[in-house]
Structure 1
Amino acid sequence: MVSFTAREVRDILISMFVIAAIFAYLFSKGLLANGTEIFLNNFILLIPALLVSVGLGFVLHELAHKFVAVRYGFYAEFRMWVEGLMFALFTAFIFSVVFVAPGAVYIHGTNISKEQNGKISIAGPLVNIALALFFLSLFPLVSHNPTDIVGYELHVIVTYGFIINSLLAVFNLIPFGPLDGGKVLSWNPVIWILIFIMAIMLAIKAYFGIY
């Protein structure tokens, strides 16, 4: 049975809010030339939408690792990485780039097989791909009128939900260092290739626009 400690819930909520605030700042920064009030209004308006689209993308990725690990009988817990969040805030505010590492799922157990490790690792990117496809399917249904506040919120959720989850899937599937891709490739190269190609196709669509 999957359970969460009070510390884990706290870490998840803090990570989600910080990530949403970082992206809200970056997406609103260009409005500073029009005045602080306009910037703040847009920043505040974006926070709830980005909590859903971006925050969930990061956190559900990590929780997918946890659920699969628990299913295999291991104890797994999400822990916030304070240094990673501080670094993300620094790079966003100083250099206007995003490098977010809010935390990770720590798995406690011995004798984790290559197959188990591969399946635990691929769970995160698969969640991001599923979320990207879900948001993409909703895009024709939402309003694109910026004067419609509710429609605008939904538009932001769907648009950035698709873009961020597509990029997250590709990034984490890169077979380098501690990223998920290396563990998946080591377990099953065919599955890694198929999933990586799917993620790249979604990322390309996100890059060139979904209109």
Structure 2
Amino acid sequence: MLERITRREEADLFVAWMAIALSFTIINLTPYGILGPIASIDPLNALIYFGIALLTVGIGFILHEMAHKFVAIRFGYWAEFVKDNTMLLVAVVMAALVGFVFAAPGATVIYSPDGRGLSREQNGIISAAGPVINLVLCILFAALFFIAGGVMALKTGSLPAKIGLAGIQINAMIAAFNLLPVSILDGRKVLAWNFVIFIVLIVAAFGTLVASFYLL
């Protein structure tokens, strides 16, 4: 299946991955952006945060997009991720200015080899695949967090615990944001396909996101 990822797509995924990881690193270092109070930044901590963001965002973002791609291919279509340079710049700038990540790095574009359009069901399933992967990753990162010692390990600075918590939060954020039923986001297409599945997914995403902050 990996041979279906083109060189151009690999490059776009890499650039988007770096930009989103940088954005999440910035909000960890300056939670209120440069417009708010900024404590002294330790270069070592900055590198650690960036490494954690690379790992957690990398897994969450790339598997989210690949889920869309390979489910679309399973339905007989061609799909390819295309980065959006403007939105990547917006993500980094907003993180720096106000401490908020608006992560819309691009989209997986679906092409029909024979001109046939997606059915509502196909579109809904393809769209749901990305957030479902992120929710599954939340479970895996939660397992890492609790195996590492949970909240107590977090208080002692345990790196595995930090990675686990960051993985939960970032994947929950990705799922929750993409499930908003607006514009071209996944949620609008899932809702148009199946109301019950939409409610289950969006409640799970936002519930996980809110719950993750109680672990701090």
TM > 0.5 fold call: yes
Task: Return the letter of the residue paired with 2:204.
Answer: M
Give the unaligned 5+ runs of structure 2: 32-36
CA distance in 1, matches of 2:154, 2:191: 43
Task: Return the letter of the residue paired with 1:203.
Answer: L
Q: Could you tell me the percent identity over the aligned residues?
A: 37
CA distance in 2, matches of 1:7, 1:147: 43
TM-score by length of 1: 0.88
Matching of residue 136 in structure 1 with residue 137 in structure 2: no
Which residue number in structure 2 is paired with residue 53 of structure 1? 56
Equivalent residue runs for 1:55-134 within 5 Å: 55-109=58-112, 110-134=116-140
Q: CA RMSD in A?
A: 2.0
Superposed CA deviations along residues 36-84 of structure 1, whole A, max 9, x for unmatched, are 5x1x221112222111112321222111100100111111001111111
CA contact (8 A) 1:53 1:161 kept: yes
The structure whose residues are more often helix, as a share, is 1
Matching of residue 42 in structure 1 with residue 30 in structure 2: no
Farther-moved stretch of structure 1 (99-108 vs 22-31): 22-31
Q: Which secondary structure does the structure 2 equivalent of 1:16 belong to?
A: helix
CA distance in 2, matches of 1:199, 1:146: 25
CA distance in 2, matches of 1:132, 1:114: 28
Q: Which secondary structure does the structure 1 equivalent of 2:136 belong to?
A: helix
Which residue number in structure 1 is paired with residue 189 of structure 2? 183
Superposed CA deviations along residues 164-207 of structure 1, whole A, max 9, x for unmatched, are 11122222222222111111111111221222222232122123
CA contact (8 A) 2:56 2:166 kept: yes
Task: Return the letter of the residue paired with 1:178.
Answer: I
Deviation of residue 162 (structure 1)?
A: 0.2
CA distance in 2, matches of 1:126, 1:145: 27
TM-score by length of 2: 0.86
Give the unaligned 5+ runs of structure 1: none
Cα 1:41/1:200, change in 2 over 3 Å? same
Deviation of residue 147 (structure 1)?
A: 7.1
Task: Return the letter of the residue paired with 2:177.
Answer: F
